[in-house]
Amino acid sequence: MKKLSPLQIERLKYQPKLPSSLSGGINSLEIVEGEATQSVRDQEQIKELFSNTYGKPVVTFKSGSSRVSETRNVGVILSGGQAPGGHNVIAGLYDALKQANSSNKLYGFLGGPSGIIEGKYVEFTDEFMDAYRNTGGFDIIGSGRTKLETEEQFQKSLAVCKKLNISAVVIIGGDDSNTNAALLAEWFVKNNTGIQVIGCPKTIDGDLKNDQIEISFGFDTATKTYAELIGNIQRDANSAKKYWHFIKIMGRSASHVALEAALQTQPNITLISEEVEEKKMSLESIINYMTDIIVRRSNAGKNFGIAIVPEGLIEFIPEMKSMISNLNDVMAKMEKEGVSATFEAVESRLEPANAKVYNSLPTLIKSQLLADRDPHGNVQVSKIETEKLLIEMISARLSELKAQGTFGGKFSAQSHFFGYEGRCAFPSNFDADYCYSLGFNAFGLINFGLTGYLSSVRNLTQSADQWIAGGVPLTMMMNMEKRHGEMKPVIQKALVKLDGPVFKQLEQNREDWAMNDKYLFPGAIQYFGPSCVCDVTTCTLQLERAKQLASV
């Protein structure tokens, strides 16, 4: 038997909390339908592509009279990058499924979406499930990034589902994974397969959300994990008083993670990608902004500090964004033509202005921009060491100022990248409860015959018993975007709103935090103790919900 840590032993015993509507039993639910919905943008195009699943209403559950549930076999897929709480989504799904009918079966497809295509699976049992409750990671069945989008993939998925007599599939993933779920749901309905598809909102990036999806699971745990590490570094910096720490933090397409971590720790500098884009800040202007704070702190006798840098920053700097977009198209074309991506070959194919930007970058960054693309054909920004680029450029700028006699301080920098450290942590109590509820709720949607829906649990700043369970149509969150050089339907990413209460909180305190070391030290995630310590959710969600409630 595998040896477990004392914490894992205790976490396995934890019983997640459910919304009151679900705690009365999966077979004692009533469904309440709202108004018909439409996609966030490109309504005519999305409606045409999803003619069988478009326009469905948002639904919520309430306690009702008991009814009998038919026997069902369900398949579940973990898709995309890991996020704390994934195991609890499956645990909630499994428990609801077995509570509905003890003859029901749950099959886990191994290695992500490829598992349903290739017919690789495991059947869940009580003993198997009980070994993973309230634990981090996706190792229960593994994950993957295979896209479900072709006729051949759909046909193979259907054959596997028929073999196992599966009538519903739950896809646990982010915006791209749930786009796949929407495509699969549409195909299953179009071809009269009788197979339902339900999604669950996963991503630590926090960019899969709207009024019905208040937060994606894993965001709470990951940001608390990063905040602990940042707090530790801040304490070290404030002790040694000789290093500037540049911390790149996960979140490619949106800066929610960096913003939340900043609110929890109050560092000296926090860059927000969406602000950089909105203000059309050039790379030079970013360097000047950061250098100014470093010089002013040095003049105050503080040759140290903390700078938070979003992972995707480089794509939001206007000249870099233009160059990378052009580069992605060029790289896709070169790959089709079988041409090697050398510096010279790439530069000769880029538009002149973009070629100039690319040529101006350090060799290290130029090489990283040519690394293998992600499954969507885009540059893998996590492999671009933006924090080192900033350090190099700031060092050069400070050397110029020193030569001019306007900077007499010292600048020593350390670089960090916090990414994988937060993806598989033991889920916080909030994520353990939220994820379990999402999974339990997903089976409720299945039980009512729904398809093309995303499991939704909201009102999350209240105690778990007051959470509202239901579902939102996947097509409601979609728009058209360019992928691999072609326009495709995808779930729209939710970016940081610069006029929202979360960013405003940072903006109001920026100058104070820059010069006056008001560092916060969150410490490790707490699982046992008072609710105000163990169950409280993110600053982001609290600020957003406070504004929403104030406007009601």
Q: For residue 518, what are the β-bridge partners?
A: none
- Dihedral, 250, 253, 258, 263 alpha carbons, nearest 10: -140
Asked if 205 is an active-site residue, the reply is: yes
For residue 281, what is the DSSP state? Answer: -
User: What does the DSSP assignment read for 328-367?
Assistant: HHHHHHHHHHT----HHHHHHHS-HHHHHHHHHS-HHHHH
CA distance readout (Å), 271 to 223, 248, 309, 546 = 16, 10, 5, 24
What values do phi and psi take at 24, rounded to 5? -75, -5
Cα 495 from chain centroid? 11
Which one is catalytic: 175, 176, 205, 220?
205
H/E stretch holding 549 reads helix 539-551
Strand runs (DSSP E) across 351-439, as ranges? 413-418
Q: Compute the half-sphere exposure of residue 30: CA atoms within 13 Å on the CB side of its CA.
A: 5
Nearest to 431 by CA among 459, 455, 464: 464
Q: At what angle do helices 283-299 and 501-515 cross, to 10 degrees?
A: 40
Burial 77-87 (b: 16+ CB within 10 A, else e): bbbbbbbbbbb
Angle at 269 between CA 265 and CA 275, to 5 degrees: 105
Residues comprising the chain, all counted: 552
Nearest to 358 by CA among 379, 387, 373, 334: 379
How many CB atoms within 10 Å of residue 246?
Answer: 25
Coil, strand or helix at 538: coil
CA distance readout (Å), 120 to 73, 111, 232 = 16, 8, 43
Contacts (Cβ under 8 Å, ≥6 apart) of 447: 26, 27, 29, 69, 100
Query: How many angstroms separate the CA atoms of 60 and 345, rounded?
Result: 55
Query: How many angstroms separate the CA atoms of 247 and 252, rounded?
Result: 14
What values do phi and psi take at 332, rounded to 5? -65, -40
- Dihedral, 187, 191, 196, 197 alpha carbons, nearest 10: -10
Burial class (CB in 10 A: 0-12, 13-18, 19+), 188: buried
Q: How far apart are the first and last CA of the chain?
A: 54
Q: Take residue 52 and report the two structure tokens written for it.
A: 């069988």
Strand runs (DSSP E) across 261-346, as ranges? 269-270, 305-310
H/E stretch holding 30 reads strand 29-36
Just list the catalytic residues: 205
